[in-house]
Amino acid sequence: MHATIYHNPRCSKSREALALLTEAGADVTIVEYLKRPPTVATLSRLYALAGLSPCEGLRMAEPAAKGLAARDDAAILEAMAIDPILIERPLVETDKGVVLARPPERVRSIL
């Protein structure tokens, strides 16, 4: 099985999700999204597949996120593409779907 994880190696939840994928034997593509931010189109597709709104994927712990929560989806996605620290992590995609792996155990639902 192939999996893609939008990963921040400094985040414990992201590291835990990656470990679960590895333990499950997944062939994992790691996208360090802070170094290679996903496009608006990619984020839109991932959130749609996960059944999440862009606002639900917004990392509210970031000061810049607070002013975005009331904005429309397009504005939130654009801000995330420009400043990827605003993306809640980790996002994980397999052939079975996409999850925001918080808690990390959510990856099991798409293995």
Domains within the chain, CATH numbers bracketed = 2-110 (3.40.30.10)
Task: Considering the candidates 6, 11, 29, 72, report the single residue annotated as catalytic.
Answer: 11
At 72 the three-state DSSP class reads: coil
Structure tokens at 40: 């608006």
**Mean pLDDT value across residues 31-36:** 97
Can you give the pLDDT at residue 93?
98
What is the distance between the alpha carbons of residues 58 and 42, in angstroms, rounded to a whole number? Answer: 15
Can you give the pLDDT at residue 39?
98
What are 46-91's pLDDT values in tens digits?
999 999 999 999 999 999 998 898 899 999 999 999 999 999 999 9
Active site residue 55: no
> Of 34, 66, 69, whose CA–CA distance to 54 is shortest?
69
What is the distance between the alpha carbons of residues 55 and 43, in angstroms, rounded to a whole number? Answer: 12
What's the mean per-residue pLDDT of the chain? 96
Report pTM.
0.94
Residue 16 has pLDDT above 90, yes or no: yes
Can you give the pLDDT at residue 69?
83
